[in-house]
Chain A
């Protein structure tokens, strides 16, 4: 293989990795938002992604909506599901332990998967690319417009969240809740509402990620599991609770995976990416950008 071919292949791996890394990053942000509000890892996060994809296809096929409207409908419905899940399964508990909450989210993941299976069956659904037009050549690599759109979605989501958490009352209130719940309550923030809002927001971001990925991979009832785990890995790699770190970590994870698959071995690509994660954790126990003293210790 000539050098230039090797270079363009490497570009190809990086670009493929960035598209999927964007998905991981959005899932990781979803994890972070709920983690900040409640201290738990929501293992149903991947299911929000899957539901997002499912409702997109449903909006297009059943309601006949144009693609952008279908995305909006899907995001709204899934956000409502997230809120409902919090209201029904999380809020009624008094002083639950973190482990119990995590198992409840696992139960939620089964419920969501089960419901999708009942309504839509186990078919793999797909839809057309949101943007028509040919693939684009970038630096010797070829990439579809949909993948660029996925990357763009991440940038937009990241930007909106930065503004939201930095400059709006609601965003600041959520940050305050994450920082110190008791103090937040003392200054008049309804922390329970914040938790509910966190579930809604996190579900919405997951749904958006799920919607934009459908034209590339299709979507089926069990697709959420793996995306959820990868997103969890990205959130931990960056350092739990830190959204900017999640973006970097998600993209990094996607690129490592893709480059490992392309240059070392497709058989072992997941093992390579996760080994990288383990090495990072062994050196920096709170993730790339996390500070050890800030992790919520001993809550298990």
Chain B
């Protein structure tokens, strides 16, 4: 996957290690954001590389969370086992929904995934016997890493490391994939589906594989969330969250998986930063989003990079380049 991405990962790891010491009153806000970042990595694979949109990923996030919650609370499973069952169920569901959906294009695909997300939300709310309904599901066991229970708030630092380790692992997997045969095939699909077809790339299979993979990312994020928070209810799995995830990916820059992480950080922190604005919050949030999209449509990550490159005058101003131009 190249030395350059590796360096990026090392730097990110360093940042993660240092942050709790540098900013002890702040770093914990990145726990939830790390969970979002994990979802966004999967989504940016789907959106940026396979060119497919999903407005229903909160459903897979929910599936992971509820599977974890139900298996550990009702049946006394270990969270470590429950994650895998969550992934397994997610793969089945993602195949079931992905195979017919990915035949759809553009806005139709967006609507189909959105409908699926809303259906999942309704089920989580209405199937009280299984999910606890709107009151939710409490007393979920916490993660146990080498004998340490990750109980918030005491183990916040460990939880932070745990979540971001998952993010870095997720990045590692995604970057490996992009720079493999699969990644090249995906780029071909993104640039022109028919052309890729003609070249003998099984586009449909690849699209579904990536859809399933991105769903698995969301499912893992859901399991992590459930065992960190200890409580799940339908609230965090609404369609609005699905739309938020897509927004994060696009704001971050969908032409690289790093963009998903950057977008999750920025859009995740905005509401925290704007919290004191009270009723001004919504309008300001919209305004910031509007300005970002109007002036740096390639996403903040590439936007900032372009800015750096430009200001260093090593390069003339460049447009956003194609993904994975790392080799």
Count of chain A residues near B, Cβ 8 A = 52
How far in angstroms is the closest Cβ of chain B from A88?
9
Q: Which residue of A lies closest to B240 (CB)?
A: A225
Report if B269 contacts A (CB, 8 A): no
A-B contact count (CB 8 A): 147
Contact B286 A103 (CB under 8 A): no
Q: With A114-B282, A285-B105, A295-B105 as given contacts, are A229 and B290 in contact (CB-CB < 8 Å)?
A: no
Q: Enumerate A92-116 residues with CB–CB distance to B below 8 Å.
A: 92-93, 96-100, 103-104, 106-115
Bound: A93/B293 CA distance, A = 10
If over half of A's interface residues share one DSSP class (helix, strand or loop), that class is named, otherwise mixed; here it is: helix
Q: Are the C-beta atoms of A107 and B293 separated by less than 8 Å?
A: yes
**In the bound complex, what is the Cα–Cα distance between A170 and B105 (angstroms)?**
30
Interface string of A249-274 (1 = CB under 8 A from B): 00000000000000001011011001
- In the complex the two chains form, is B250's CB within 8 Å of A295's CB? no
A106 touches B243 (CB 8 A): yes
Given contacts A107-B293, A225-B240, A275-B119, contact A281 B104 (CB under 8 A): yes
Contact present for A93 and B289 (CB under 8 Å)? no
Choice from B104, B247, B279, B283 contacting A106 with Cβ under 8 Å: B247
**Cβ of A83 < 8 Å from any Cβ of B?**
no
Min distance, Cβ B293 to any Cβ of chain A, angstroms: 5
* Chain B contact residues, majority secondary structure: helix
Measured between beta carbons, the chain B residues less than 8 angstroms from A131 are none
* Contact partner, B250, options A100, A277, A285, Cβ 8 Å: A100
Please indicate the chain B residues that have their CB under 8 angstroms from the CB of A98 in the complex.
106
CB atoms of A277 and B111 under 8 A apart:
yes
Chain A neighbourhood of B119, CB < 8 A: 270-271, 274-275, 278
Given contacts A111-B283, A114-B283, A118-B279, contact A104 B118 (CB under 8 A): no
Say whether A118 contacts B108, CB under 8 Å: no
| Contact B286 A109, beta carbon cutoff 8 Å | yes
Is residue B285 contacting chain A, with contact meaning CB distance below 8 A?
yes
Count chain B residues whose beta carbon lies closer than 8 angstroms to a beta carbon of A.
48
Q: Decide: A97 and B297 in contact? CB cutoff 8 A.
A: yes
Residues of B contacting A35 in the complex (Cβ-Cβ under 8 angstroms)? 107
* Contact status B282-A103, CB under 8 Å: no
Q: What is the chain B residue whose CB lies nearest that of A89? A: B290
Q: Which residues of B contact A (CB under 8 A)?
A: 47, 51-53, 100-101, 103-108, 110-112, 114-116, 118-119, 122-123, 125-126, 192-193, 239-240, 243, 246-247, 250-251, 254, 279-287, 289-290, 293-294, 297
30 A–B contacts from the bound complex (CB under 8 Å): A41-B107, A98-B106, A103-B289, A107-B290, A110-B286, A111-B287, A112-B286, A113-B282, A114-B279, A233-B115, A267-B126, A270-B122, A271-B126, A274-B115, A277-B112, A277-B115, A278-B100, A278-B115, A278-B116, A281-B104, A282-B101, A282-B103, A286-B108, A295-B105, A295-B108, A296-B106, A297-B106, A298-B192, A300-B53, A300-B110
The 6 A-B pairs at the shortest CB distance, nearest first, are namely A114-B283, A110-B286, A114-B282, A111-B286, A107-B289, A267-B126
A positions within 8 Å CB-CB of B? 35, 41, 43, 89, 92-93, 96-100, 103-104, 106-115, 117-118, 121, 225, 229, 232-233, 236, 240, 265, 267-268, 270-271, 274-275, 277-278, 281-282, 285-287, 295-300
